[in-house]
Structure 1
Amino acid sequence: MQTTPEHDERMAKMTFASVYPHYVSKVERKGRTKEELHAVIFWLTGFDDQALQRLIDEKATFQDFFDQSNLNANAHLITGVICGYRIEEISNPLTQKVRYLDKLVDELAKGRKMEKILRA
């Protein structure tokens, strides 16, 4: 299943700050912590707490968010289906990165061990 150009554009323009509270509530509802969420985000992007907060405050789009990131070399190991899309088959690089993050948050919320989530 491939994404449409409209879908890819919508993903690029969406702000990280608008989605972040949903990530936090999703993982906390399932008994995980904001710190664990940050560990997952930091692993994928290379951001620290300050950089993450700056991007939230700036209301950075996902395009800006991932342009400023240093994607983990093992990100390609994130596979599977999220939101109806097989991650490894997504052709748009930005949309694929957003879905990487969604998949990691989903795995965290489902109680997967951190070593597995971080592809250690």
Structure 2
Amino acid sequence: MDNARVFKMKFANIYPLYIEKVERKGRTKSELDEVLCWLTGHNAKSLQQQIDMKTDLETFFTQAPQLNPNVSKITGLICGYRVEEIEDKLMQKIRYMDKLVDELAKGKKIEKILRQ
């Protein structure tokens, strides 16, 4: 899939899929929100605003208050790529988000997901 197409995907369309994924594995929407807010610097209100405005992923990350300074601690494979080696910075942020959601769905402790 070409990056431009991914960047234009609506966060509002992806978010319910994330919720479904984590809930299937016994996790909660509030845990998902905590992880997403940790990554992006959004709070619950601004996260909901991004959903309501149907922003695309590029805008979602551009308007993120502040990417967490510990994102460099997110490592490993996602979709066959090492997240720490992805050169396109926007794609790397998107893959960080995917990686954190996967870790949540796999039952990892919140403290470990948030790199504390």
Q: Taking structure 2 as the reference length, what is the TM-score of the superposition?
A: 0.96
* Aligned-pair CA distance for 1:25: 0.3
* Aligned-pair CA distance for 1:7: 2.1
The SS at the match of 1:27 is helix
The SS at the match of 1:41 is helix
Alignment of 1:3-14 (within 5 A): 7-14=2-9
Amino acid at match of 2:91: T
- Asked if residue 53 in structure 1 is aligned to residue 30 in structure 2, the reply is no
Amino acid at match of 2:10: T
- Distance across 2 between alignment mates of 1:42 and 1:79: 19
Return 5+ residue gaps in structure 2 as ranges: none
Report the counterpart of residue 106 of structure 1 in structure 2.
Answer: 102
Identity, % of aligned positions: 58
- Distance across 1 between alignment mates of 2:104 and 2:12: 19
Deviations 1:35-57 (A, max 9, x none): 00000001000111111111111
Amino acid at match of 2:75: T
Alignment of 1:82-101 (within 5 A): 82-101=78-97
- Residue among 28, 38, 63 paired with 2:23: 28
- Distance across 1 between alignment mates of 2:44 and 2:84: 29
- Distance across 2 between alignment mates of 1:10 and 1:95: 11
Amino acid at match of 1:106: D
Amino acid at match of 2:44: D
- Distance across 2 between alignment mates of 1:21 and 1:85: 24
* Aligned-pair CA distance for 1:96: 0.3
Report the counterpart of residue 17 of structure 1 in structure 2.
Answer: 12
List, as ranges, runs of 4+ consecutive aligned residues in structure 1 with deviation greater than 2 Å.
none
- Asked if residue 41 in structure 1 is aligned to residue 36 in structure 2, the reply is yes
